[in-house]
Amino acid sequence: MFIPLPSAPGADRFKPRAVQFLILTNILVFAYQLYASYQGPSLAAAYGAIPHRITHSDSFLPPLPNLFHKTLVTSLFLHDAHILQGGFIHLVGNMLYLSAFGPNLERMLGGLKFLLLYLLCGVLATLFYVITHHNSPLPLIGASGAIAGVMGAHVVACPRAHIRCLLLIYIVSLPAGVVLVPWILIQLFNAYFSFQSAPIAWLAHVGGFGAGMFFIRKFQRTWLRPKQGAYRIRPYF
């Protein structure tokens, strides 16, 4: 398994402000979670996406998700505050993937459209999990679904752009498709064999990845197009 590394600046010294904003926001929210965990109830209980709460807001209706539930968005910026149980590793892993795959897409789309694509994929990834686990009382948290959407969009829009990865003790540069194909196969395998019992929301990863693959072309062709020539990919090495 390759470990993606932050993209090195290209020759044009492009600065992915939206990616940097998302990384900083996730880190600050995680720091606040650590502080709040010593003051009272976990933020995950209040702002995590709890499937049962989202799908059972009105008892006389069938278990359909409330598409305007605030936790569909707030949950994307929360991570497990129990550091010894892998919360810090979860955060670091997500931010590494975002910093590796996000800049190329932000260069193509522009900062605003990249942020909208990120949030859309994150919400759809969460909804996909909520629909398939509508009776679950456990909160779903993490940026993984949104970042999976960025990865799905990347594999469609620029599969040949190179990604810096750590392989054992070596740093190698590989086409994005080579890195992403094993990743999505692992998600599908785990989602199939641990549908109900997994502590990790594999289906949210799959849903986010699929949403990114589907929506990237629509985002490229619609409003607020970047300046002419911005769609030419200058891969990071």
Write out the residue range of the structural domain in which residue 26 sits.
3-221
What is the pLDDT, as a whole number, of residue 181?
87
pLDDT in tens, 97-138: 999 999 999 999 999 999 999 999 999 999 999 988 888 888
Q: What is the mean pLDDT of residues 69-97?
A: 87
Q: Is residue 237 part of a domain?
A: no
C-alpha span between 115 and 67 (Å, rounded): 19
Q: What is the mean pLDDT of residues 153-168?
A: 89
Residue linked to tokens 């919400």? 123
On the CB side of 229, CA atoms within 13 Å amount to 0
Q: Is the pLDDT of residue 225 over 60?
A: no
Q: Is residue 227 part of a domain?
A: no
Q: What is the mean pLDDT of residues 152-178?
A: 89
In the chain, the number of structural domains is 1
What is the pLDDT, as a whole number, of residue 234?
39
Q: Is residue 235 part of a domain?
A: no
Q: Is residue 52 part of a domain?
A: yes
C-alpha span between 62 and 70 (Å, rounded): 20
Q: Is residue 48 part of a domain?
A: yes
Q: Is the pLDDT of residue 48 over 90?
A: yes
CATH value at residue 159: 1.20.1540.10
14-23, 34-43, 119-128: which has the minimum mean pLDDT? Answer: 34-43
